[in-house]
Structure 1
Amino acid sequence: MYILEEPRGRAYEGLISMAFRVCDEFILVKKDQLTLTPAMEALSEQLKPYVKTVKKQDAWPGTQLFGHYADVYYFDCQPPLEKLILESADGLYDWVWPNLLEDLCFFKGSQPWLVNIAHEHEAWIKTDDREEILQFRGIEGLMVY
């Protein structure tokens, strides 16, 4: 596991572009107790045509809820969504209510690859693939521990 200091700007762009190349799926979350703000509604409308499925869940990578649920939106990694994700935020921890849907996480073959707990300012990459490690270590400005 490789812990990330928040990628912002070019580091965020590089990480998201790599995630779209390496992974096949990603999620965004809307907790039941939180209302959609106008900014979240606008993003939701742009995402709507690409939603693969929505599941009511009390857990997703890095998060366990107690006593309530969230709508977890699943998407396939595809170019129009990469552009939208890059245009919607300037940093990984921007994916938090009230401005955006929460906890942008990526999966490679159903396994968590990039885990993001935005409101906690925690994120990590889970891989032992040497080529991937070399790639993300080569992203300008990305701080990995």
Structure 2
Amino acid sequence: MHVQKDEGMETYGMRMYTDPRGEAYEQVIGLAIRNSEYFVLGEKIPADVVRGHYTSVLDALEPYLVKTIVIQGDNRDELTQIRNTYRSNAFYTAGTYYFYRCCEESGNLLKQMANRLSDWIYPSLPEDLCFLKEGGGDYLYSVVHEHMYGMEVTEEEAIELMDRITGLFLELKSHRNLDRLLDDAIKHKTDWLYISGHGLTELPERIRELTEMRDMEIFEQDLYRLPEGLFKLSKLERLRIMTADLESIPYQ
């Protein structure tokens, strides 16, 4: 199911290249629970659509439910007002939104119910897990249909968290340096990467070290040569290259 995003939607905080998974997901959930007042899950299906099996998830979380907000599809003013009130990426379309109290017990349920943020999507689970700070604003947000994830942290905090949590891969200003970008991409075993604006004529051979890569986009105007290592990435499913004059593709 595709959800139409509101045209006025803004994203806040520092973006992630991709969402953390496995142990990194659990650590990030623990961090968000400690730094947030509520977490929010959305149910954005039409009223006449049958719910998925995630009703058991809503039942399990029921003891921690604080409030519910329903935004009607034809009420754009209400949507804008709620988004501005909470300053959150959670509210970008009509639906039913559930606010849950952040505590160790509710956090443990979130860790058990999913393996990564992108798991929070219909029909498997209620959608777009977001954490709201006391007084409003996201600490952590996800808009799964748009592959958008982020945290409200400073550059310094992001660097410290990335040092501590392998698998949390945030976009840093220092990633304008390709070597630093690749260092972090390799360390955090990212499965998605966008390379652009580095003035490259060829990709470094160490690209082969991105062993978990599934989806890569490269936008380099002067790129003309690709390393053989790029085609040794066994998990790569999608490769998009935008350049002016590619010399050749290595024979495999």
> TM-score, with normalisation over the residues of structure 1?
0.87
Aligned residue for 1:105?
Answer: 130
- Against the structure 1 CA distance between its residues 79 and 46, is the aligned structure 2 distance closer, same or farther, given a 3 Å change threshold? same
The partner residue of 2:143 within 105, 117, 127 is 117
Bigger fraction of residues in strand: 1
Give the match for residue 41 of structure 2: 28
**For residues 158 and 36 of structure 2, what CA distance do their matches in structure 1 show?**
14
Q: In structure 1, how many angstroms separate the alpha carbons of the residues matched to 2:14 and 2:45? A: 30
Greater gyration radius: 2
Q: Could you give the per-residue CA deviations for residues 32-71 of structure 1, whole angstroms, max 9, x where no partner exists?
A: 4153112x11111111121100001345515522xxx211
The list of structure 1 runs, each at least 4 consecutive aligned residues, that deviate by more than 4 angstroms after superposition, is: none
Structure 2 partner of 1:61 = 89
Q: Helix, strand or coil for the counterpart of 1:47?
A: helix
SS of structure 2 residue aligned to 1:80? helix
Partner of 1:41: 55
**TM (normalized to structure 2)?**
0.52
Q: What code does the residue aligned with 2:70 have?
A: K
What is the aligned length? 140
In the alignment, structure 1 segments of 5+ residues that lack a partner are none
Structure 2: how far apart are the matches of 1:7 and 1:35?
30
For CA contacts below 8 A with separation 6 or more, give which structure has more relative contact order.
1
Q: Kindly provide the amino acid, as one letter, of the partner of residue 100 in structure 1.
A: L
3-state SS of 2:26 partner: helix
Can you give the 5+ residue segments of structure 2 that lack an aligned partner in the other structure?
A: 1-12, 72-78, 172-252
Equivalent pair of 1:14/1:140 in contact (CA under 8 Å): no
Asked if the contact 1:18/1:136 (under 8 Å) is kept, the reply is no
Segment drifting more, 82-91 vs 135-144: 135-144
Percent identical pairs in the alignment equals 27
Superposition RMSD in Å: 1.9
